[in-house]
Amino acid sequence: MVLSIGPIISLIAGILILVMPRLLNYIVAIYLIVIGLVGLFGNRL
């Protein structure tokens, strides 16, 4: 079973936003940075 990092991070971010709505800005920023890194480095992560 191969898991992609995008959906896992999305799930974690969604749960954290529900629990602590104030973290929304930080979670979105971290998510975008991680997705950018995955896009740049591909499968090397």
For the stretch 1-45, pLDDT in tens is: 566 777 887 788 788 888 887 878 887 888 788 888 888 887 664
Q: What are the boundaries of each domain within the chain?
A: 11-44
Per-residue confidence (pLDDT) for residue 27, from 0 to 100:
77
Per-residue confidence (pLDDT) for residue 43, from 0 to 100:
64
Per-residue confidence (pLDDT) for residue 44, from 0 to 100:
61
36 near 9, Cβ under 8 Å?
A: no
0.85 exceeded by pTM: no
In Å, what is the CA distance from 27 to each residue of 1, 10, 11, 15, 44? 27, 10, 11, 11, 23
Structural tokens at position 35: 């997705």
Q: Rg of the chain over CA atoms, in angstroms?
A: 12
Which position has the token pair 């799930």? 11
